[in-house]
Amino acid sequence: MAVREDDELIIHVAGDAPAAQMMRRYWVPVALDEELTEAGGAPVRVRLFGENLVAVRDSTGTLGLMQEACPHRLASLALGRNEEGGLRCIYHGWKFAVDGSCLDMPTEPAESTFRERMRVRAYPVREGGGLVWAYLGPAEHAPPFPAFDWTTKPRSALATMKFLENANYLQAAEGSIDSAHTRFLHRGSSSIRGAGEEQRRNALSRDLAPRLEVADTTYGFRYAAIRRPNEDADVRRYVKITRYVFPTTAILSEPLSSARPALVQIFVPVDDEHTMHYSIFHALHGEALDEATIRREHALVPGVDVDARWHLRRTTENWWLQDRPAMQNGSWAGIPGVMTQDVAVQESMGPIVDRSAERLGTSDVAIIRLRRRLVESVRGFLAGEAPPGLRTPVDYGRIGAVPQLVIGVDEPWQDVATFPGEYAPAAAASRMT
């Protein structure tokens, strides 16, 4: 019974649900930068935590995010005219600035003060890392912007991707901390980190049953997938470390080839049954990336694989266009693109998987930890505690991709690429003993 209650607590991320309220305390991506490039351009509809919103770049170039429904009679402001200094509803002409104030109310008498008292909900917005971000929590609790290393890189060193997944955010997030699946689901696919990576990995280790170990950090946790290397397996181990940053960001390990970019994935709750997936590749040394080619490699080209509303062409209805003949001829999953493969299996569980029916194994340790930390965090939040990463300042600039290494069996993986203050006090204390 308790498990069921815990599941309910962390899967509901819309409206007043406790997890929604907790996650609103963090900055979250709302759009790719390319959706909102033009001052005075078309508004963009956005749905976050079950709330319908409209993002806009006003005529002065300032970005805003406001409620979609016009407060007059609730027509969509996404239909609005983006005019001088604000968005004007096309129904009766009420006009709103990106700070939420009402600039014009032409249907009311000139002497009316109704306009001065009228506001729309509006949220602070920022740009960084090829994304537009917003903070949707109470203004008095707004944390500093999470300035990850990749959010300060030149745009040319980034390649971004986005699509809607028809599943709860937790199914999507759990896929990013599930090391054991890569060598099955993604077998033979050009790896998420590019061609040749799979061969390099197999040359290092052919172990299919990684042992997972987790350590709590101030921002969430990090875990190591530990495999027996092909050589010196009695004295060495191959560790691949992922950082999970609350509420829903996965910092995947560095690729084995430093010529390839690192990858960050963010799973933004749209509502209980939908998640906006953002993948951001960033060049480790700031060199230029070919974004169009990287999108093609992942079968995530806007207008081809993904429609104007970021829905994938491959869906449950067409069974993700799985190609059975290709599976007879060397393709493992019969679906191209590692992220589409992830989506297929995650959507195939149903929009909200029944976790009471799962049979978790030893390779699911990180998933179990994520659920536990989420439950603890939401319960703590309800009791008035700040969630992970918001208690004390976190240096997001140091939460980067960790190199994959072969280390001695006696060397603690927790020490690989760590920084002072990374570990949560309890985890740090247990490391001392």
Q: State the residues that interact with ligand FES by CB under 6 A.
A: 70, 72-73, 75, 89, 91-94
Nearest Cα residue to 309 out of 50, 13, 47: 47
The smaller minimum CB distance to Fe ion, of residues 31 and 345, is found at 345
DSSP 129-174: TTEEEEE-S-GGGPPPP---GGGGS-GGGEEEEEEEESS-HHHHHH
Shortest gap between Cβ of 72 and ligand FES (angstroms)? Answer: 3
Shortest gap between Cβ of 66 and ligand FES (angstroms)? Answer: 13
- Residue 75: which of ligand FES, Fe ion, none does it interact with, CB under 5 to 8 A by kind? ligand FES
The smaller minimum CB distance to Fe ion, of residues 105 and 173, is found at 173
Distance CA 129, CA 254 (A): 18
Distance CA 428, CA 423 (A): 5
342 contributes a contact to Fe ion by CB under 5 A: yes
- Residue 342: which of Fe ion, ligand FES, none does it interact with, CB under 5 to 8 A by kind? Fe ion
**Chain residue whose CB lies nearest Fe ion:** 342
Q: Is 319 helix (H, G, I), strand (E, B) or coil?
A: helix
Shortest gap between Cβ of 165 and Fe ion (angstroms)? Answer: 12
Which residues are within 8 A (CB) of 158 and not within 5 positions of it... i.e. 6 or more apart? 129, 130, 150, 280, 281, 282, 283, 289, 291
- Residue 332: which of ligand FES, Fe ion, none does it interact with, CB under 5 to 8 A by kind? none
Distance CA 201, CA 183 (A): 10
Shortest gap between Cβ of 121 and ligand FES (angstroms)? Answer: 15
The smaller minimum CB distance to Fe ion, of residues 95 and 260, is found at 260
* Cβ–Cβ under 8 Å, residues 141 and 47: no
Range in contact with Fe ion (rule: CB under 5 A) among 9-17, 74-82, 342-350, 354-362: 342-350
* Cβ–Cβ under 8 Å, residues 388 and 407: no
- Residue 367: which of ligand FES, Fe ion, none does it interact with, CB under 5 to 8 A by kind? none
Q: In which residue are the tokens 């569980």 written?
A: 349
The smaller minimum CB distance to ligand FES, of residues 62 and 76, is found at 76
The smaller minimum CB distance to Fe ion, of residues 305 and 342, is found at 342
- Residue 72: which of Fe ion, ligand FES, none does it interact with, CB under 5 to 8 A by kind? ligand FES
The contact set with Fe ion (CB under 5 A) reads: 342
